[in-house]
Structure 1
Amino acid sequence: MENEASYKNRKVISIGTVSELTGLTERQIRYYEERKLISPERSDRGNRKYSFMDVERLIEIANKREEGVRTDEILQELKKKKKKEDTATRNKMIQGQLNARFNHSNRHPKK
Protein backbone atom coordinates (compact mmCIF):
# COMPACT_ATOMS: atom_id res chain seq x y z
CA MET A 1 0.00 0.00 0.00
CA GLU A 2 2.84 2.38 0.80
CA ASN A 3 4.37 1.75 -2.64
CA GLU A 4 1.03 2.57 -4.24
CA ALA A 5 0.86 5.87 -2.38
CA SER A 6 4.42 6.75 -3.28
CA TYR A 7 4.01 6.16 -7.01
CA LYS A 8 0.73 8.10 -7.03
CA ASN A 9 2.47 11.08 -5.44
CA ARG A 10 5.52 11.16 -7.74
CA LYS A 11 5.43 14.26 -9.94
CA VAL A 12 6.39 12.84 -13.33
CA ILE A 13 3.51 13.60 -15.73
CA SER A 14 3.64 16.47 -18.21
CA ILE A 15 0.82 18.99 -18.56
CA GLY A 16 0.03 17.68 -22.05
CA THR A 17 -0.49 14.16 -20.74
CA VAL A 18 -2.55 15.47 -17.82
CA SER A 19 -4.69 17.35 -20.33
CA GLU A 20 -5.27 14.14 -22.31
CA LEU A 21 -6.06 12.13 -19.18
CA THR A 22 -8.49 14.64 -17.69
CA GLY A 23 -10.05 16.20 -20.77
CA LEU A 24 -9.14 19.64 -19.42
CA THR A 25 -7.26 22.17 -21.50
CA GLU A 26 -3.76 23.17 -20.48
CA ARG A 27 -5.16 26.65 -19.81
CA GLN A 28 -7.73 25.21 -17.37
CA ILE A 29 -5.03 23.20 -15.61
CA ARG A 30 -2.83 26.30 -15.22
CA TYR A 31 -5.86 28.23 -13.93
CA TYR A 32 -6.45 25.62 -11.22
CA GLU A 33 -2.78 25.93 -10.28
CA GLU A 34 -3.19 29.74 -10.04
CA ARG A 35 -6.18 29.16 -7.75
CA LYS A 36 -3.95 26.91 -5.56
CA LEU A 37 -6.11 23.83 -6.17
CA ILE A 38 -3.09 21.83 -7.38
CA SER A 39 0.65 22.25 -6.94
CA PRO A 40 2.80 20.80 -9.70
CA GLU A 41 6.55 20.69 -9.37
CA ARG A 42 8.87 22.19 -11.96
CA SER A 43 11.53 20.31 -13.88
CA ASP A 44 15.04 21.73 -14.31
CA ARG A 45 13.77 23.32 -17.53
CA GLY A 46 10.73 24.83 -15.79
CA ASN A 47 8.15 22.39 -17.15
CA ARG A 48 5.26 21.49 -14.88
CA LYS A 49 5.21 17.93 -13.56
CA TYR A 50 2.10 16.38 -12.08
CA SER A 51 1.35 13.23 -10.09
CA PHE A 52 -1.43 10.66 -10.48
CA MET A 53 -2.95 12.20 -7.34
CA ASP A 54 -2.97 15.57 -9.15
CA VAL A 55 -4.78 13.94 -12.08
CA GLU A 56 -7.38 12.46 -9.72
CA ARG A 57 -7.80 15.84 -8.00
CA LEU A 58 -8.21 17.63 -11.34
CA ILE A 59 -10.95 15.20 -12.37
CA GLU A 60 -12.66 15.80 -9.02
CA ILE A 61 -12.32 19.58 -9.51
CA ALA A 62 -13.74 19.38 -13.04
CA ASN A 63 -16.72 17.37 -11.78
CA LYS A 64 -17.41 19.88 -9.02
CA ARG A 65 -17.10 22.79 -11.45
CA GLU A 66 -19.68 21.11 -13.72
CA GLU A 67 -21.99 20.97 -10.69
CA GLY A 68 -21.55 24.72 -10.28
CA VAL A 69 -19.16 24.71 -7.32
CA ARG A 70 -16.86 27.76 -7.29
CA THR A 71 -13.09 27.35 -7.11
CA ASP A 72 -12.88 29.19 -3.77
CA GLU A 73 -15.38 26.71 -2.31
CA ILE A 74 -13.33 23.80 -3.66
CA LEU A 75 -10.18 25.30 -2.12
CA GLN A 76 -11.85 25.59 1.29
CA GLU A 77 -13.03 21.98 1.04
CA LEU A 78 -9.51 20.83 0.14
CA LYS A 79 -8.05 22.73 3.09
CA LYS A 80 -10.55 21.13 5.48
CA LYS A 81 -9.78 17.68 4.07
CA LYS A 82 -6.02 18.25 4.42
CA LYS A 83 -6.42 19.46 8.00
CA LYS A 84 -8.50 16.41 8.85
CA GLU A 85 -5.90 14.09 7.26
CA ASP A 86 -3.06 15.87 9.09
CA THR A 87 -4.91 15.50 12.39
CA ALA A 88 -5.55 11.79 11.76
CA THR A 89 -1.89 11.23 10.86
CA ARG A 90 -0.71 13.09 13.96
CA ASN A 91 -3.10 11.08 16.15
CA LYS A 92 -1.81 7.81 14.68
CA MET A 93 1.78 8.87 15.34
CA ILE A 94 0.99 9.81 18.94
CA GLN A 95 -0.89 6.54 19.47
CA GLY A 96 2.06 4.62 18.02
CA GLN A 97 4.46 6.40 20.36
CA LEU A 98 2.21 5.70 23.34
CA ASN A 99 1.87 2.04 22.36
CA ALA A 100 5.63 1.70 21.92
CA ARG A 101 6.30 3.41 25.25
CA PHE A 102 3.78 1.60 27.38
CA ASN A 103 3.79 -1.80 25.71
CA HIS A 104 7.58 -1.87 25.96
CA SER A 105 7.66 -0.84 29.63
CA ASN A 106 4.87 -3.26 30.60
CA ARG A 107 6.70 -6.29 29.26
CA HIS A 108 8.52 -8.30 31.83
CA PRO A 109 11.08 -10.89 30.85
CA LYS A 110 9.95 -14.40 31.66
CA LYS A 111 12.07 -16.33 34.14
Structure 2
Amino acid sequence: MATHSQKDAYLFKKVISIGTVCELTGLSERQIRYYEKRKLIFPERSDRGNRKYSFSDVETLMDIANKMEDGMQTSELRKEMQKNQNKRYDSKFRERMIRGQLNAYFNKRD
Protein backbone atom coordinates (compact mmCIF):
# COMPACT_ATOMS: atom_id res chain seq x y z
CA MET A 1 0.00 0.00 0.00
CA ALA A 2 1.12 3.59 -0.64
CA THR A 3 2.83 5.60 2.06
CA HIS A 4 0.39 7.32 4.38
CA SER A 5 0.90 10.28 6.65
CA GLN A 6 1.58 9.68 10.31
CA LYS A 7 -1.81 11.22 11.10
CA ASP A 8 -3.85 8.57 9.26
CA ALA A 9 -1.47 5.61 9.61
CA TYR A 10 -3.79 3.98 12.16
CA LEU A 11 -6.44 3.59 9.44
CA PHE A 12 -4.28 1.02 7.66
CA LYS A 13 -3.02 -1.06 10.61
CA LYS A 14 -4.51 -4.54 10.44
CA VAL A 15 -5.54 -5.10 14.05
CA ILE A 16 -9.30 -5.71 14.02
CA SER A 17 -10.72 -9.24 14.34
CA ILE A 18 -13.41 -10.54 11.99
CA GLY A 19 -15.89 -10.62 14.89
CA THR A 20 -15.42 -6.92 15.55
CA VAL A 21 -15.67 -6.19 11.82
CA CYS A 22 -19.01 -8.04 11.80
CA GLU A 23 -20.23 -5.88 14.69
CA LEU A 24 -19.07 -2.67 13.01
CA THR A 25 -20.46 -3.45 9.56
CA GLY A 26 -23.47 -5.67 10.21
CA LEU A 27 -22.02 -8.20 7.77
CA SER A 28 -21.72 -11.88 8.60
CA GLU A 29 -18.39 -13.70 8.74
CA ARG A 30 -19.59 -15.68 5.74
CA GLN A 31 -20.13 -12.49 3.70
CA ILE A 32 -16.73 -11.10 4.65
CA ARG A 33 -14.99 -14.36 3.76
CA TYR A 34 -16.86 -14.39 0.43
CA TYR A 35 -15.58 -10.88 -0.37
CA GLU A 36 -12.09 -12.08 0.49
CA LYS A 37 -12.49 -15.14 -1.75
CA ARG A 38 -13.65 -12.85 -4.59
CA LYS A 39 -10.48 -10.75 -4.03
CA LEU A 40 -12.29 -7.61 -2.94
CA ILE A 41 -10.69 -7.41 0.51
CA PHE A 42 -7.25 -8.54 1.70
CA PRO A 43 -6.94 -9.17 5.43
CA GLU A 44 -3.65 -10.13 7.00
CA ARG A 45 -3.31 -13.28 9.09
CA SER A 46 -2.09 -13.42 12.66
CA ASP A 47 0.45 -16.04 13.77
CA ARG A 48 -2.52 -18.22 14.68
CA GLY A 49 -4.12 -17.73 11.26
CA ASN A 50 -6.86 -15.34 12.37
CA ARG A 51 -7.91 -12.65 9.92
CA LYS A 52 -6.97 -9.08 10.86
CA TYR A 53 -8.55 -6.01 9.27
CA SER A 54 -7.89 -2.27 9.33
CA PHE A 55 -10.34 0.61 9.67
CA SER A 56 -9.75 1.21 5.98
CA ASP A 57 -10.83 -2.40 5.31
CA VAL A 58 -14.01 -1.76 7.33
CA GLU A 59 -14.79 1.25 5.11
CA THR A 60 -14.10 -0.83 2.00
CA LEU A 61 -16.40 -3.59 3.25
CA MET A 62 -19.20 -1.08 3.86
CA ASP A 63 -18.73 0.28 0.34
CA ILE A 64 -18.76 -3.25 -1.12
CA ALA A 65 -21.91 -4.16 0.82
CA ASN A 66 -23.71 -1.00 -0.33
CA LYS A 67 -22.80 -1.58 -3.96
CA MET A 68 -23.79 -5.24 -3.77
CA GLU A 69 -27.12 -4.17 -2.28
CA ASP A 70 -27.56 -1.85 -5.28
CA GLY A 71 -27.12 -4.86 -7.58
CA MET A 72 -23.46 -4.62 -8.52
CA GLN A 73 -21.67 -7.92 -9.17
CA THR A 74 -18.36 -8.82 -7.50
CA SER A 75 -16.62 -8.95 -10.88
CA GLU A 76 -17.76 -5.37 -11.59
CA LEU A 77 -16.61 -4.29 -8.16
CA ARG A 78 -13.18 -5.86 -8.66
CA LYS A 79 -12.79 -4.06 -12.01
CA GLU A 80 -13.85 -0.76 -10.45
CA MET A 81 -11.45 -1.20 -7.54
CA GLN A 82 -8.60 -2.07 -9.92
CA LYS A 83 -9.37 0.98 -12.06
CA ASN A 84 -9.34 3.23 -8.98
CA GLN A 85 -6.06 1.71 -7.82
CA ASN A 86 -4.54 2.27 -11.28
CA LYS A 87 -5.68 5.91 -11.22
CA ARG A 88 -4.02 6.44 -7.84
CA TYR A 89 -0.82 4.77 -9.10
CA ASP A 90 -0.83 6.84 -12.32
CA SER A 91 -1.36 10.03 -10.33
CA LYS A 92 1.53 9.23 -7.98
CA PHE A 93 3.74 8.27 -10.95
CA ARG A 94 2.98 11.58 -12.73
CA GLU A 95 3.71 13.47 -9.53
CA ARG A 96 7.11 11.75 -9.18
CA MET A 97 7.92 12.44 -12.83
CA ILE A 98 7.10 16.15 -12.49
CA ARG A 99 9.15 16.41 -9.30
CA GLY A 100 12.05 14.71 -11.04
CA GLN A 101 11.82 17.08 -13.99
CA LEU A 102 11.64 20.11 -11.70
CA ASN A 103 14.61 18.87 -9.68
CA ALA A 104 16.61 18.26 -12.85
CA TYR A 105 15.73 21.72 -14.18
CA PHE A 106 16.65 23.58 -10.99
CA ASN A 107 19.77 21.48 -10.35
CA LYS A 108 20.90 22.18 -13.92
CA ARG A 109 20.58 25.94 -13.34
CA ASP A 110 22.93 25.90 -10.31
TM-score (norm 1): 0.90
- Residue of structure 1 aligned with 2:96, choices 80, 90, 93: 93
The one-letter amino acid of 1:27's match is: R
Residue 19 of structure 1 corresponds to 22
Residue 62 of structure 2 corresponds to 59
| Residue segments in structure 2 that go unaligned for 5+ positions in a row | none
The whole-number CA distance in structure 2 between the counterparts of 1:44 and 1:102 is 49
> Which structure is larger by alpha-carbon Rg, 1 or 2?
1
| Alignment of 1:34 onto 2:37 | yes
- How far the C-alpha of 1:91 sits from its partner, in A, is 0.9
The one-letter amino acid of 1:3's match is: Q
Residue 79 of structure 2 corresponds to 76
| Paired residue secondary structure (1:46) | coil
| Residue segments in structure 1 that go unaligned for 5+ positions in a row | none
Aligned residues: 107
| Alignment of 1:102 onto 2:105 | yes
- How far the C-alpha of 1:5 sits from its partner, in A, is 3.5
- How far the C-alpha of 1:9 sits from its partner, in A, is 1.2
| Alignment of 1:10 onto 2:13 | yes
* Identical residues among aligned pairs (%): 50
